[in-house]
Every structure is written in structure tokens, then in C-alpha cells.
Chain A
Amino acid sequence: MYGIEQDTLGVAFNPTPTNIVTYYLARKYPKEQVEEEENEQPNGKIYINPLNSIESWQKSLYNDVHSLFIQTQKIASNELATNVGDAFQNSSLRSTLYQITRDYSSILEDHTKNLRKQDYDIKQIMEIFSTWEICRILFFSPRRKSTDLASDLVCWVNTFLPPSELTFEEEQQLETISQPQNEPLFRDRLINLVLRGDIRAKELLACCLTGDENDLSDRAIHSVLQTLNNKPQAKDYEEDQLNLQDKELQSLLDVILDIMRGSETAILDNCFSWAESLGCLLLHRLPTADYTELCIVLNKCLEGKSLKDEGDFQKAIIKFLFQEIDQGLILCLNVDLWLSAHLSDVFSKFAKIGTIPHPKTSSGVPFKDWLFAFRESCILDYGELLAGHSTLWSIAFDYFKYCPKYGIDYIQQLIVKIPMDTETKIHKILDICKRYDLREESKTICKIVARKFLREKRYTPSLFYFAKANDKIQIRLIAHQFLNNVIDTGELKFEKVIESLPLQEIADTSLNFLSQYCEFHHLLQERSFETAKNLLMNLIKSQASPKYFWPVLLLNTLPLLRQEGEKSKSVFTREDIFEILCILEEITSFHENNQEFEKSMRCIMKWHTRDNGYDEIDDKLKIVRLRLAHDSAKAFTAKRNPTSNDLL
């Protein structure tokens, strides 16, 4: 459809870690090259589609678990660096790591509770939490008793797949029923509670009692209640047989007893999901199941059930239950980035101390190698997600830090992409660069910041950051801009800028020149002529300023030269005057017909006027020459008169 039109679909990736895809109808060829179809309505719409986003609850969770992640890395690296292979230390590390997995659980639990309180959709966090918990039960928990695995799994099923609660109407309906055993709602509810080992089953079953002690049905119900009370092993009531006239009650009690006996058929027939079946079979039939038995039971639970429509969360759980850790982790990628990153991280720590099974991976790569590579890939993806967030971005770099293979590349690539909205953020970004010795990135960031300040005409920070970036060319250009301003106006508008810069730290020739030039004017104002002269002579001799500024420097000698009729002492030595004359000669002859010099002189002549308190000047600076000659003559005369204490 698009092919026959003049347009196609264009795509652009937002070049930041936010991974936003943008697409739009794009014209294929220049309009001028093709015959335009008539009445075509242009579609100028752009569609912006973020691939990932962070909800407020995720932001809070990510913030809370960050320190736990760092703690895990530190503990693991410290312990493993010194004690690999040491059984005692491994055991200690294992219990520390297990405690960390429990801490993660606590945080997840707290967040789930908070979200529930706020009537938030908790589906995603429940999937994360339940996957975390199943892994904790199956792989991280140090099991002490043979019943631990089954009881933990039963607890997991009841926590994350609790029996569905009755609605208010259903509860009212049950309360008004005279012979509840005949009601499907009652039967289903009771059986479900029995399946789950829920204590409320007894209360519900007691509703069937007539109160007649001699009634056979009541006696049978009491017997079953006793069984529910004692929860004896299946074999203990294997022989119990009831023969009641009330066939509905008879069948209900039979089902209850069958479940209590651990009848596979009764349990599987009455469960709604594979997970519920698993929990009930473990509770009633195999309370001491080990991993091998768990797999057998799980296979039974999954028999005849298609997992095609199940989400990746359910599939991941099944893979973990079958001990296929690699497959489970791969499926977790589609559940949640946080989950896959943190779960694979914890798995890799346990793998290092050899406490988790090492299944064969589908790629044939040794499991440990696969796991370490997978962990890094997940953490990098998760870090990338964080780096694109306006407030979580700095956490991202802590995650990259613990990715030995590519972490530093991610830091290098993404640190420059963090928008620098505030000064604090700039400092934080530069601190990260310093921490990882990213000199080039730091320079780039400083240049960006400096350019931004320059656009805003904020010269102090601009110069500061250009100096940090060691961009001497830009500093020189700005300094020239300042000098040009002096040429244009005769004023030192940059004085405050220079004063507020840490010049010793920056150590730049152009800026030092400007600073000394300002200092010269200060000294002049304070009438410290001798010091001012020395400074001016240094500035002239250093030739640090561009030649187009030399006329200004030469004109600056005028206040220091003796005026007509003045008898004061000259501050210039013979050498000084000689030096100044040489320079004067150089610029007036060398720059003759030089546009830059002429331009400077034209500008200076505009403000260097008698009206402004200066001497009138011409474009050859004759006034300076005359004053120098006059000063020399005076000095010469003074020399002939021995009473004079003049310098010359």
C-alpha cells in the first residue's frame, strides 16, 4: 500500500537511554522529482513511542533496592576475593546472601502492601514478587528439614494464588441456605478451602450439622471435622468409609476425605490451575517431596494443560520449578527488567559459591559462563532504563560499575547524554567522570556546558568550563572578545568576570593577561604609578595580547608620562621608553594599511577624545611618540642638572 504511494514510514530513535522510537509518514523522493497526486492530504503527524517507562511505584522500588544491590556486590567481591573454595566461608557467604534475598523480599512485600493500600494495579509487582519468592524457596534457601521445600511451596501458592474470596452476595447467600451440602457454591467453597488446608473449611463444614447427636450424618461430619482438625497422614484414615442416606453429603465428605488422603484424582479434578494443583498435591500427598518428586508432581499438574496462552511469568515459574534456571531467567526478561537484572545477579553470586544447580544451557555454553554473561546483559539493560530517567539516572552508573565487561563502555557512552539542567547535576555528572577517570567525556561535558553559558552571555562560568575542558582556543576567543570590547568602548566591562575566576587554577595566558590589565587600571586609579608602570611594561613586553590591542596598551602609557610643564618624576626608565618606541614603530609601520589595525584605531579614536577626558589622538598615535620624546627630553635635561633625582 505504501509502496505505490509517494510516502513510506520513516523512523528516528531518540539518541538517549530513554529508547523512544519516533515514526512518521515520510516522503520518499523530492516532490519536485515526482508527479504529485492531486488532492493528497499531507499527514504531518509524528508518533512518539517510548519502549520502556518507569511508573511512580517502580521509581520508588528502584530507589529502595539500589543500596541492597551495592551491598550485595561489595559483600560478594570481598568474600569471594579472599575465600573461594573455603567451605566455612562459603557457608557464611551463603547465609549472608540468603539474608540479602530476604531483604529484597521484604522491600517487595512492603511495596506490594503500599500499592494495595492505594488501590493500585498490583499485577506486575505481584509477578515480580512471586518469581523472586519461588527462586528464593527453590534455590537460595538453606533447607533444614525434609518438609521445608513442600511447605514453603504450599505457602508460596497460598500467598500468590490465594483461594478466591467470596463476594458479599455469595457470603449472604451461604448464610441463608438450609441444606448447604446441596448447593454448588457451598460445595465448591468448602472443597477449595480443604484443598488449600485452610482452617475456615471446618467452620464451613460445621454448617451442615443438624445438631442431632444421634444423626448419622452429624456423626460423619464430626468424624471428618476431627480428621481436618488432626490433619493425620493419609494412611491413617485410608479405611474410613461412610454410608449416608444423604447422598449429596456423602459425596461431599468423600471428596474431602479423598483430598485429605492425597488422592491425586480428587485433587487434580478439583483444582483450577496447575499451580493450585501443585500446592495441593504437595500439601496432601507429598509433604516431604524433594526436587525429583517435585518435578514428577509438576508434570502431573501440567498434564493436559496447554501453556500456550500462559504469560511469560507463569512459564518462568514452571521453568524454575523444573530447575531450568537459564530458561526461567530468559523468560523473566519479558516480565520485568528489574527482576531479570536482580535475580540473575543473585543467581550469579550463589553460582560462584556453587550452591545452585548447573543445568545444561540450550546454547551449550557452560552454565556459569552463560549466567555471568546473562547477568551483565540484564544489568546493562536495567541500567540503561535508569539512565534515561530524570531522577534515577545517577543510580544507573552504580549498576554499570558492576558490569565487568561492558560497564565502563556504557558509562562512557551514556554519561554525556544526561541532560544538564542544573549546576548540581553538572557537578554530579563531572564527579562521575572523575570517579571513572573519563577525561574525554569530562572535556566534552565541560565544552557543552561552557557553550551553553556562552550563549547566555554568562562569561564567568563559560570561561571556567572552557578552562576545565582545556579549550584554550575558546578561552582565547572570549578574551579577544573582551579586548575588542575595550577597543570599542574604552571600558573594562569584563573586570568582574575576570575577578570571579580562579585564575591560579585555570592558568591561562589570555586570562592572566586580562587579569593583569585590570590590575594595571586599579593601580592607576590608586595612583600607584611605579607599580602600574611595571605591570604595563610587562604586559607590553610579554606580547601576550593580539597586535590589534597594542595601540590601547601604548595609549595606556600616556597617564604615566609627564605632562607638559609637569615637574614630577618620570616613572619610565630609558629602556622602557626605548621599548615603547620600538613597539610604536613596529605597529605603525608594520600595520600600515593593515585593516585590523586601522579598524582598531578607528574604534579607539571614537572614545579617546578630549570630551571623555583623554588626549585627542590620530591614527598614527603621534601623541604617544611626542609624549615619549618630551619625557626623554625632560629626563635628559634633568640628567644634566645634578640636583635632579630623576630616574632618567
Chain B
Amino acid sequence: MATQTIDTGHEDLIHDVAYDFYGKRLATCSSDQRIKVWEYNVKTNIWETVDTWKAHDCSILKVTWAHPEFGQVLASCSFDRSVRIWEEQENEPRNSGRRFVLRARIQDSLKYIQDIEFAPNVLGLKLAACAADGIVRIYEFIEVNDLESYTCIEEFEINPGNLTKEVEGHSCISWCPSRFNTAMMVIGCGKEAKIFRQDGQNKWQAYEVLPGHEDTVHDVSWAPTMGRLVSYQLIATASKDQHVRIYKITSDRIRYHAELLCSFRDHNVEVWRVEWNVTGTILSSSGDDGKVRLWKASHNGEWKCMSVLSYDRQSESSEI
């Protein structure tokens, strides 16, 4: 399969790349403090820039799209401690630098924001942000037509009692995408990854710990539920301990159980990212070895590496 290359023109390294709901748009963010939005032109088979703008005052660490039922809305977070909400203005010309307007500038954290993710659309327009001080905040935008109005509806510590300590380098977040479950998220923090959900008083609490991590959890990803709804769900983690892990989450109606389903050390170096495909049947992982590994469960449920994509730093090319 032919690999397509986009030269983003960012003036510094990229921190994050996020597809929109339909996979037709890409948002990239970089240490150059800019966000770029790209759109795939079916006729020309080219990714074209929609706009580029200076979005923050420091490195932009993450960028994420809201569900399209809320419009063309982007959120970004930065080392400048803010989370910003951007909305596309279709009457503004492309590449004018004005196409995405700042709707909200949220700066509640004392430390920088490490990860953000919009909640599944069934929960409304909500955004979770986890900061380097180990505090997760959930913001709600009640009026979709007025994104300037938001409320911080929740604020909780990932590791209660550990607030003063910088969270051993990294925290990451991923919502449970299922609309059938109660609102849940998996949060990686330091050497742990835990499932959080609301208790009887609607307060977010850590419940199950995903076992086995021996070093910092760099990334977490909750798989789309698909046909496993009744029986189980899947969560993947990427860790500094060089492992990609897949956890099986089961429920006996009273509580959830997290079981390590499989653990792979194929990267043999730090693994930084994990992400599921749309059906939760293929997991991608990438790390310091410059390789993307794709994991797929065979028909008998056994997870195996189905493919390896290599990035050659020297020649700046890639190959399968």
C-alpha cells in the first residue's frame, strides 16, 4: 500500500496528530505553538491545509476534535497551562489564520496540561483535562451555540494525597467510548493506570488498577466497545517499561474487573503511544524503535503482531 507523506511545515517537532470523526481532517500541533488543520481532498488525493494559527504561548501538547454533532470544534492544551477551545468559522477564508476562532481559554491549573479528551457525545460536550500536578478537571459546555460558557463540573486528584508532587513525569487519559456504560475513563499516572468512574455521590473515584506496569505509563487507550459489550471491554497501555499491554475489563454488574490479557515487549524500547482502530479490532503502538506495530486478535482471540511499519530516520522515509 502506498504511503502518503504530508510535509506539515511546522517549525518545530510535532507533539500530536488528531483525526476528526470522519477521518477527513487532521489537526497537528507542535512546539512551534501552532495548530494546523488539514483536509483530505478526494479529487486530488492531497491533504490540503485549512488553516494555521498561533494557538498558545508555549508548546502545544495535545489536540483533539469534538464530536461533529457539536460542530467543528477543536480543543488544545499547552505547556502554557491553558486549554483552549476553537471553533471553525466557515465564512472566514481558508488559510487566513482566522478560520478557527478562540471560543474559550481555560486556565485553572497551576501546572501544565498534559492530556485532553472530549467525552463520548452521549454525555454532552464535555472535556477532560489532566494536568501535570495530577488533577483532572472535567469541563462542560452546556450551550453548544455558546462555547464561551463552560463550567468545571468536576475536579479530582488522580493520586489523592500526592498533590504536591509532580506526577512522575506523565499523565494521560482516555474515556470509555461506550454509550451503554456509566461514564468512565482510564487514566495513566506515573507507574499506574486506573479506571475512574463516579460513585454514589457522583464524585469521580479510582476503582480498578490495571496491573503489571513497572514504569511510567506513557499512553492509555480505551477500545471502541463493538460486540464485546455484554462480555468485556479492552484497554491498551504504552509504557516506559517497554511493554504494550492489553487489558480485558469485565463486569459482574456489581463491580468491574481488570485482567491483563496480553503483554508484548516487541518494541524492546520505551513505548509511547497506543491507539485503537474504529472497531477496536486493531491496536497500533509506536515507540523509540521508530516502528509502528499493529496488533490484531486472530479468529480464536489470540492477539498477535500483524504488521510492522518502519520509519527510517536517516532517509526520512518509511516502509512496511
Smallest CB gap from B320: residue in A: A49
Can you give 24 contacting A-B residue pairs, CB < 8 Å? A1-B288, A1-B290, A3-B270, A8-B288, A9-B273, A10-B14, A10-B16, A11-B275, A11-B285, A14-B19, A14-B23, A15-B277, A20-B23, A23-B309, A24-B14, A45-B6, A46-B17, A51-B282, A378-B299, A406-B226, A410-B227, A417-B22, A451-B70, A455-B88
Decide yes or no whether A236 CB sits under 8 A from chain B: no
Q: Which of B25-33, B95-103, B157-165 contacts A (4 or more CB under 8 A)?
A: B25-33
Find out whether the CB atom of B5 lies under 8 angstroms from the CB atom of A15.
no
Given contacts A410-B227, A451-B71, contact A31 B12 (CB under 8 A): yes
B67: chain A residues within 8 A (beta carbon): 448
Decide yes or no whether A524 CB sits under 8 A from chain B: no
B7 in complex: contacting residue of A10, A26, A45, A451, CB < 8 Å:
A45
Give Cα distance in the complex from A240 to B166, angstroms: 95
- Contact-residue size bin, chain A (C-beta under 8 Å from the other chain): 35 or more
Decide yes or no whether A373 CB sits under 8 A from chain B: yes
Find out whether the CB atom of B9 lies under 8 angstroms from the CB atom of A44.
yes
Find out whether the CB atom of A21 lies under 8 angstroms from the CB atom of B292.
yes
Decide yes or no whether A363 CB sits under 8 A from chain B: yes
Q: How far is the CB of A136 from chain B (nearest CB, A)?
A: 23
Give Cα distance in the complex from A49 to B320, angstroms: 9
Find out whether the CB atom of B9 lies under 8 angstroms from the CB atom of A26.
no
B22: chain A residues within 8 A (beta carbon): 16, 417, 419
Give Cα distance in the complex from A256 to B100, angstroms: 80
Q: How far is the CB of B189 from chain A (nearest CB, A)?
A: 16
Given contacts A3-B270, A9-B311, A451-B69, contact A22 B8 (CB under 8 A): no
Find out whether the CB atom of B278 lies under 8 angstroms from the CB atom of A13.
yes
Residues of B66-80 whose CB lies within 8 A of A: 67-72, 79
Find out whether the CB atom of A42 lies under 8 angstroms from the CB atom of B68.
no
Q: How far is the CB of B51 from chain A (nearest CB, A)?
A: 15
A451: chain B residues within 8 A (beta carbon): 68-71, 144
Decide yes or no whether B276 CB sits under 8 A from chain A: yes
Query: Among the interface residues A7, A15, A19, which one has the most CB atoms of the partner chain B within 10 A?
Result: A15
Find out whether the CB atom of A13 lies under 8 angstroms from the CB atom of B284.
yes
Given contacts A21-B292, A45-B8, A49-B1, contact A417 B21 (CB under 8 A): yes
A384: chain B residues within 8 A (beta carbon): 279, 281
Smallest CB gap from A477: residue in B: B145
Residues of A423-472 whose CB lies within 8 A of B: 440, 444, 447-448, 451-452, 455-456
Given contacts A44-B10, A48-B3, A455-B72, contact A2 B273 (CB under 8 A): no
Residues of A26-49 whose CB lies within 8 A of B: 26-28, 30-33, 42-49
Query: Among the interface residues B16, B69, B226, which one has the most CB atoms of the partner chain A within 10 A?
Result: B69
Decide yes or no whether B291 CB sits under 8 A from chain A: yes
Find out whether the CB atom of B59 lies under 8 angstroms from the CB atom of A31.
yes
Q: How far is the CB of A363 from chain B (nearest CB, A)?
A: 5
A419 in complex: contacting residue of B24, B31, B299, CB < 8 Å:
B24
Decide yes or no whether B147 CB sits under 8 A from chain A: no
B313: chain A residues within 8 A (beta carbon): 1-2, 25
Residues of B20-49 whose CB lies within 8 A of A: 21-24, 26, 28, 30-32, 42, 47
Decide yes or no whether B307 CB sits under 8 A from chain A: yes
Given contacts A12-B275, A30-B58, contact A42 B10 (CB under 8 A): yes
Find out whether the CB atom of B227 lies under 8 angstroms from the CB atom of A10.
no
Find out whether the CB atom of B14 lies under 8 angstroms from the CB atom of A50.
no
Residues of A380-411 whose CB lies within 8 A of B: 380-381, 384, 390, 405-406, 409-410
Find out whether the CB atom of B23 lies under 8 angstroms from the CB atom of A406.
no
CB-CB contacts of A537-557 with B at 8 A, as 1s and 0s?
Answer: 000000000000000000000
A15: chain B residues within 8 A (beta carbon): 19, 21, 23, 277-278
B318 in complex: contacting residue of A12, A47, A52, CB < 8 Å:
A47
Find out whether the CB atom of B318 lies under 8 angstroms from the CB atom of A410.
no
Find out whether the CB atom of B59 lies under 8 angstroms from the CB atom of A27.
yes
B23: chain A residues within 8 A (beta carbon): 14-16, 18, 20, 417
Give Cα distance in the complex from A8 to B299, angstroms: 32
Give Cα distance in the complex from A363 to B301, angstroms: 11
Query: Chain B residues in contact with chain A, CB under 8 A?
Result: 1-19, 21-24, 26, 28, 30-32, 42, 47, 58-59, 61, 67-72, 79, 88, 90, 112, 121-122, 143-145, 179, 224-227, 229, 269-270, 272-279, 281-282, 284-292, 294, 299-300, 307, 309, 311, 313, 316, 318, 320
A28: chain B residues within 8 A (beta carbon): 272
Q: A414-B278, A444-B69 are in contact. List 11 more A-B contacts (CB 8 A).
A: A8-B287, A9-B289, A11-B274, A15-B277, A23-B286, A30-B31, A42-B11, A47-B3, A374-B299, A380-B279, A406-B226
Q: How far is the CB of A360 from chain B (nearest CB, A)?
A: 14
Find out whether the CB atom of B5 lies under 8 angstroms from the CB atom of A10.
no
Give Cα distance in the complex from A448 to B286, angstroms: 32
Give Cα distance in the complex from A413 to B8, angstroms: 31
Given contacts A17-B278, A23-B311, A42-B11, contact A9 B290 (CB under 8 A): yes
B285: chain A residues within 8 A (beta carbon): 11
Smallest CB gap from B28: residue in A: A46
Find out whether the CB atom of B292 lies under 8 angstroms from the CB atom of A9.
yes
Q: How far is the CB of A370 from chain B (nearest CB, A)?
A: 8
Find out whether the CB atom of B286 lies under 8 angstroms from the CB atom of A8.
yes
A17: chain B residues within 8 A (beta carbon): 278-279
A9: chain B residues within 8 A (beta carbon): 272-273, 286-292, 311
Decide yes or no whether A6 CB sits under 8 A from chain B: yes
A477: chain B residues within 8 A (beta carbon): 143, 145
Decide yes or no whether A53 CB sits under 8 A from chain B: yes
Given contacts A45-B7, A451-B68, contact A22 B17 (CB under 8 A): yes
Smallest CB gap from A420: residue in B: B22
Given contacts A11-B286, A15-B21, A455-B72, contact A417 B227 (CB under 8 A): no
Give Cα distance in the complex from A514 to B42, angstroms: 41
A447: chain B residues within 8 A (beta carbon): 69
Q: How far is the CB of B7 from chain A (nearest CB, A)?
A: 5
Query: Among the interface residues A7, A13, A477, which one has the most CB atoms of the partner chain B within 10 A?
Result: A13
Query: Nearest 7 pairs between A and B by C-beta?
Result: A406-B227, A44-B10, A2-B288, A447-B69, A16-B23, A409-B227, A44-B8
B6: chain A residues within 8 A (beta carbon): 45-46, 48
Give Cα distance in the complex from A10 to B309, angstroms: 12
Give Cα distance in the complex from A522 to B104, angstroms: 43
Find out whether the CB atom of A456 lies under 8 angstroms from the CB atom of B90.
yes
Q: How far is the CB of B137 from chain A (nearest CB, A)?
A: 19
Given contacts A22-B17, A25-B13, contact A10 B226 (CB under 8 A): no
B13: chain A residues within 8 A (beta carbon): 6-7, 25-27, 31, 42-44
Find out whether the CB atom of B7 lies under 8 angstroms from the CB atom of A44.
yes
Q: How far is the CB of B192 from chain A (nearest CB, A)?
A: 20
Decide yes or no whether A377 CB sits under 8 A from chain B: yes
Give Cα distance in the complex from A19 to B58, angstroms: 33
A32: chain B residues within 8 A (beta carbon): 58-59, 79
B12: chain A residues within 8 A (beta carbon): 27, 31, 42, 44
Give Cα distance in the complex from A389 to B121, angstroms: 25
Find out whether the CB atom of B309 lies under 8 angstroms from the CB atom of A409.
no
Smallest CB gap from B122: residue in A: A440
A53 in complex: contacting residue of B1, B179, B290, B307, CB < 8 Å:
B1
A390: chain B residues within 8 A (beta carbon): 42
B30: chain A residues within 8 A (beta carbon): 27, 42, 44
A405: chain B residues within 8 A (beta carbon): 227
B112: chain A residues within 8 A (beta carbon): 30
Find out whether the CB atom of A21 lies under 8 angstroms from the CB atom of B309.
yes
A413: chain B residues within 8 A (beta carbon): 224, 226, 278-279
Give Cα distance in the complex from A133 to B79, angstroms: 62
Give Cα distance in the complex from A48 to B4, angstroms: 5
Find out whether the CB atom of B79 lies under 8 angstroms from the CB atom of A27.
no
Give Cα distance in the complex from A201 to B294, angstroms: 52
Q: How far is the CB of A451 from chain B (nearest CB, A)?
A: 5
Find out whether the CB atom of B79 lies under 8 angstroms from the CB atom of A33.
yes
Given contacts A16-B22, A31-B31, A417-B22, contact A8 B270 (CB under 8 A): yes
